[in-house]
Copies of this chain bind each other. A is one copy, B any other.
Amino acid sequence: MSDQPQLRPIGRIESPLRDLSDAPLQADEGAPAAWLVFDDALAEALKDLGPGDEALLLTWLDRADREVLSVHPRSDPNNPITGVFSTRSPDRPNPIGLHRVTITAREGNRLQVQALEALDGTPIIDVKAVLGAGDR
């Protein structure tokens, strides 16, 4: 249906994180370095990114639960149940991950980033320029 937008993954995450139980909630909470591996057909879109650049990475959190509408934030039962649109829960109707990343290396169409909380194999769906100094 034309009303159901179809995402086309543009690459995949390569990360030592293999399991949800190992993944930190945010990148600045001990996440490891990871590689963003892009489809070669998109080299032109990627050509101006390299070490030292910051970017906004969008991923498709394919292991999330799309039926969840409210959560205890940070999975802490002491936090009151909150609608997911007021949180950064991965569980939500469209489980898009938004990550501010710093690129540390480039090898062809592979970019290494400093710290990323997404799991190995997670599809990449977009990369954008940072506009605000505090984008996260």
Q: Which A residues are within 8 Å of any B CB, using their own CB?
A: 3-10, 26, 42, 44-49, 53, 55-56, 58, 60, 62, 66, 69-70, 82-88, 92-94, 96, 98, 100, 123, 125-136
Q: Report which residue of A44, A62, A93, A127 has the largest number of chain B beta carbons within 10 angstroms of its beta carbon.
A: A93
Whether the Cβ atoms of A44 and B83 lie closer than 8 Å is yes
Whether the Cβ atoms of B93 and A45 lie closer than 8 Å is yes
Interface of A is mostly: loop
Whether the Cβ atoms of B4 and A7 lie closer than 8 Å is yes
Given A88-B128, A134-B132, A70 contacting B94 (CB threshold 8 A): no
Whole-angstrom distance between the Cβ of A112 and the nearest chain B Cβ: 15
Whether the Cβ atoms of A6 and B4 lie closer than 8 Å is yes
Please, how many angstroms separate the alpha-carbon atoms of A51 and B136 in the complex? 22
Whether the Cβ atoms of A7 and B9 lie closer than 8 Å is no
Whether the Cβ atoms of B127 and A85 lie closer than 8 Å is yes
